[in-house]
């Protein structure tokens, strides 16, 4: 079945013949912004059942109903990869979350380091950005945005998940990253870098692999994209 151009994320189960009620915000977008009407087709996904082509069967200012016609794409889950990053300025934090969703993160974790200097993190707003990114990039999975957590607390309860630790002190060295994938997390520090104590703790962890992201020190938002590109190319589902 052909894939519709307009895509929406929903929480509702999806199956042939299933009716799905729209929220007020979704109805405004479809009927007020996109000028859709009864009979139009929209792609829906819920992060579990793949992408479904649906027909608009009811349209109103405050709501509407779509009916699933058939599956247009199977569910595609990302690798078991977390992106952990120190929040920065609002617009740049939004950028990191959007790109993480587009590039295949399964979970996004804001971490508070000793040098983190950012405004209050609104998880609901960041989760909405992750949904929008998945809608726009054709994905069928939306990563969870976790509540912010202090780095020392996070590492205190760490399991055997590997950590790709992006250490700005290694600028100019080769990125020693190899293996067969599995469960990983990428850790991006704040604009001021990791503290000496944080760096020492990470270097002392058996699960952590310190890498360089090239010959130049990158901004935190650029580093997040570069790190995910490196991991996906060497260990992820881009190979």
pLDDT for residue 175 is more than 70: no
pLDDT at residue 177 in the model: 67
Mean local confidence (pLDDT), 205-218: 89
Instruction: Let me know if residue 198 belongs to a domain.
Output: yes
In a domain, 1, yes or no: no
Do 17 and 93 share a structural domain?
Answer: no
Residue 61: pLDDT above 70? yes
Q: Is residue 31 part of a domain?
A: yes
Instruction: Give the distance between the most distant pair of CA atoms in the chain.
Output: 61
pLDDT at 167: 85
The reply to whether 174 and 150 lie within a common domain is yes
- Please check whether residues 111 and 54 belong to one and the same domain: no
- Specify if 169 maps to a domain: yes
User: Three-state DSSP class for 196?
Assistant: helix
Which pLDDT belongs to residue 141? 97
Q: Which of 84, 63, 60 is nearest to 165 (CA)?
A: 84
Instruction: State mean pLDDT over 205-221.
Output: 90
Does pLDDT of 2 surpass 80? no
pLDDT of residue 214: 84
158 and 91 belong to one structural domain:
yes
DSSP state of 31: I
Structural domain total, the chain: 2
The answer to whether residues 144 and 170 belong to one domain is yes
194: CATH: 3.40.1280.10
Q: Could you tell me if residue 22 is inside a domain? A: yes
Collect contacts of 155-158 with beta carbons under 8 A, ≥24 apart: 155/201, 155/202, 155/205, 158/205, 158/207
What is the arithmetic mean of pLDDT over 28-32? 95
pTM, whole model, 2 decimals?
0.91
Q: What CATH code is carried by the domain that includes residue 54?
A: 2.40.240.20
% the chain with pLDDT above 70: 95
Residues 57 and 163 in one domain: no
Domain that holds residue 44: 7-73
């Amino acid at each position: 079945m052909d894939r519709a151009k307009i895509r929406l994320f929903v929480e509702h189960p999806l199956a042939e013949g299933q009716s799905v009620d729209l929220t007020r915000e979704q109805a405004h977008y479809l009927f007020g912004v996109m000028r859709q009407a009864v009979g139009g087709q929209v792609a829906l996904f819920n992060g579990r059942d793949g992408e479904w082509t649906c027909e608009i069967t009811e349209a109103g200012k405050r709501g509407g109903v779509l009916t699933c016609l058939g599956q247009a794409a199977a569910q595609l889950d990302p690798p078991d990869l977390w992106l952990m990053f120190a929040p920065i300025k609002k617009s740049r934090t939004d950028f990191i979350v959007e790109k993480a969703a587009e590039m295949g993160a399964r979970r996004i974790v804001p971490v508070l380091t000793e040098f983190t200097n950012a405004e209050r993190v609104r998880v609901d707003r960041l989760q909405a950005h992750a949904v929008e990114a998945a809608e726009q990039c054709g994905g069928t999975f939306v990563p969870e945005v976790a509540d912010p957590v202090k780095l020392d607390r996070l590492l205190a309860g760490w399991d055997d998940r590997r950590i790709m630790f992006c250490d700005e002190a290694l600028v100019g060295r080769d990125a020693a990253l190899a293996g067969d994938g599995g469960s990983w997390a990428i850790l991006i520090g704040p604009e001021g870098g990791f503290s000496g104590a944080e760096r020492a703790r990470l270097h002392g962890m058996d699960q952590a692999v310190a890498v360089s992201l090239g010959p130049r020190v990158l901004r935190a938002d650029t580093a997040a994209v570069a790190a995910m590109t490196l991991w996906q190319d060497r260990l992820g589902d881009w190979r």
